[in-house]
Structures are given as structure tokens and as C-alpha cells.
Structure 1
Amino acid sequence: MLRTLLFLLVMANIASAIGVVYARHEHRQLFVAFKRLERQRDELNIDFGRLQLEQATWAEANRIDQVARNKLGMVFPSADETVVVRP
């Protein structure tokens, strides 16, 4: 009876040790994945900031005016070409 109890305690101890090793291994894998995702998030935030800056640059009024004049040949209408429509 004492041997059986001792055997069961040793087996429980071994099972517990294997569980601890498995949990540590799983924790390390999840931590590495977490850090990789954190790095990816930071890179995406940097790209997003660059894109916002680029969008702001392209949307500036003087840039739009310059493109309209140079590439599209647009000009402001003169006073005699302006028509006011009243309801």
C-alpha cells in the first residue's frame, strides 16, 4: 500500500513537472507572437502617419489650384462670365 501511494505521488509530481514545462513553453510562444504583433502594429501606425501626411499634402488648396491651372487648364471666370441665379 505504501509503495502504491509513493508511486502515485511520484507520478503526480512528474505529471505536474511536465505541466509546468508545457505551460512555460506555451507562454514563451505566445509572448513571441505578441511581440511580433506589437512590432507589426507599430509599423502600421508609422505607415498610417505617413499616409495621413501625404494625404494632407495632396489635399492642400494651393496644390489643387496649381494642378487645376497647369494640368487641366482651368482659370477663374471673370466678372462678366459669372452668372448669379436667383430662386
Structure 2
Amino acid sequence: MARLNVLLLVLVIACALGVVTSQHKARKLFVELQKEKDRAQQMDVEWGQLQLEQGTLAMPARVEKLANRLLQMQMPQPKQVRYIRLDSGMVTLQ
């Protein structure tokens, strides 16, 4: 009978250690999950900021101003404009 009690005690201790170990792993994984959620939210905020910045940098007025100032580009005169019309695969200039 004493051997059975010792065996049962060892099994109970092993099960208790297994429960403690699994709870510890679960807590570590939960903390990791929370960190990743926070990181994903931070990346969403950064993505929104980058989209806003891209929209600001690509504004037509800003692009035209930079083209004029840095590249000395100008809008062409109406007589310098050529229109291309596509007729069934052929290109014609007007």
C-alpha cells in the first residue's frame, strides 16, 4: 500500500509540475501576442503617416513647383503640344 501511495504522490507532483509549466508557457505566449499586437498597431499608425506624407509630397502643385525650380521645366506652349490618336493599332500625329 505504501508503494501505491508513493507512486500516486509522484504522479500528482508530476502533474502539478506539468500544469505549472504549461501555465508559464501560456503566459509567455500571451505576453508575446500582446507585444505583436502592439507592434502591428504601431505599424498601422506608421503606414497611415506614410500614406499622408506620400499624398502631400505628390500633390500636383508641389511637383510642378519642384519641376520649375529644380529642373527648370515649364509647361509647353499650346503650339508645342502634339496629340497622338490611336486608330486600330496605328499611331497618327495631329
Do they fold alike, i.e. is TM over 0.5?
yes
Provide TM-score, normalisation by structure 1.
Answer: 0.86
Runs of 5+ in structure 1 lacking a partner? Answer: none
Poorly superposed stretches of 4+, deviation over 2 Å: 79-86
SS in 1 for 2:44: helix
- Higher RCO (CA-CA < 8 Å; seq separation 6+): 2
Runs of 5+ in structure 2 lacking a partner? Answer: 86-91
Cα RMSD (Å) of the superposition? 1.6
SS in 2 for 1:35: helix
User: Displacement, 1:85?
Assistant: 5.6
Moved more, 74-83 or 45-54: 74-83
Provide TM-score, normalisation by structure 2.
Answer: 0.80
More strand by share: 2
Give the percent of matched residue pairs that are identical in Structure 1 and Structure 2.
33
SS in 2 for 1:71: helix
More helix by share: 1
Q: Distance in 1 between matches of 2:12 and 2:69?
A: 81
